[in-house]
A and B are shown apart, each in its own frame.
Chain A
Amino acid sequence: MRTRFHDLQRMLSSMDALRDTFNLLSGEAYDRLPRFEGGWGIPDGWPKMNLYDTGEQLEMRVELPGFSREDIQIKVQGNYLEISGSRKAAGPEGYTVHRQERENPTFTRSMTLPIEVDSGLASASIRNGILSLVLPKSVAARPQQISIR
């Protein structure tokens, strides 16, 4: 169930934030572990997404640093949304690697939207590493004014 998962994920990412805060306060040389090992958050919850309901449409933002338009595929149908992509694996040629934390070159994340959307009118853009999706609600799902005779 999306709702329960989200609550659990929220609690776990606030534990992440708490851990990060302790890192800063402790003042010690603290090796930052790669996300999938050190984070308490559930691994499927990557990349991070925000979802908003603005009345007429759903808007979604996804953190995707280092991805360009060609690297991402978005599938929308009814109330099903799937986003997948892969960015070029990090390293430039000819360099030794001291540290490599930016993992996850490939991902897929799908979800059931709370409301049906009109896939024909959906649009997406990406800027500064944030993907923005605009998903207008299908006509039946929009808020309707009901006039009283």
Chain B
Amino acid sequence: MTQENPITQTEKTAVEKPEKLSVLIPSVDIYENNDEYLVYADLPGVAKEDVSIDLDNGQLTLIGNRYVEAAKGQLMEEFSSAQYRRVFSVPQGIDLGRVDAELTDGVLKLHLPKSEAVKPRKIEIREG
């Protein structure tokens, strides 16, 4: 995962974005070990059906729609309906078939396993 997160206007618009949702940038943690990259994203109030994760051409697009019913008798509203949206550049060598995503307690945990070819390898030195 590169350090920068290019927040670019992508050509393709997110299919599920209804007109009125404002866009928020979710906080993420990005970790790496020898086997995978791990992304944690805070998506409070987003249900599983409203998340879309697209990995295309080295770009990971994460979208989650969150709906807050505008209840009557509103006294204080610090958060409302919104679309969480973030785009990342992803390095080569992700095993797309084994990508795994889990949404628990409003936190998305995304596992991006590295394909064998890019895993760190110990190189044995032969006797010359």
Residues of A within 8 A of B (CB): 6, 9, 13, 17, 20-21, 23-25, 27-32, 34-35, 45, 48-55, 58-59, 61, 63-68, 90-92, 94-103, 114, 126, 128-130
Contacts and interface: CB of A to CB of B under 8 A. Distances in A.
A49 B76 contact: yes
Nearest to A61: B68
A92 B40 CA distance: 10
Interface of B: 1, 3-9, 22-25, 27-33, 38, 40, 42-47, 68, 71-80, 85, 103, 105-107
19 contacts: A23-B25, A24-B9, A29-B6, A30-B5, A50-B80, A54-B73, A61-B68, A65-B107, A66-B107, A92-B38, A95-B32, A96-B33, A99-B30, A102-B29, A128-B44, A128-B105, A129-B45, A129-B106, A130-B44
Contact of B42 (A30, A61, A65, A92): A65
Contacts of B105: 65-68, 126, 128-129
Contacts of B76: 6, 49-51
Contact of B27 (A30, A31, A35, A68): A35
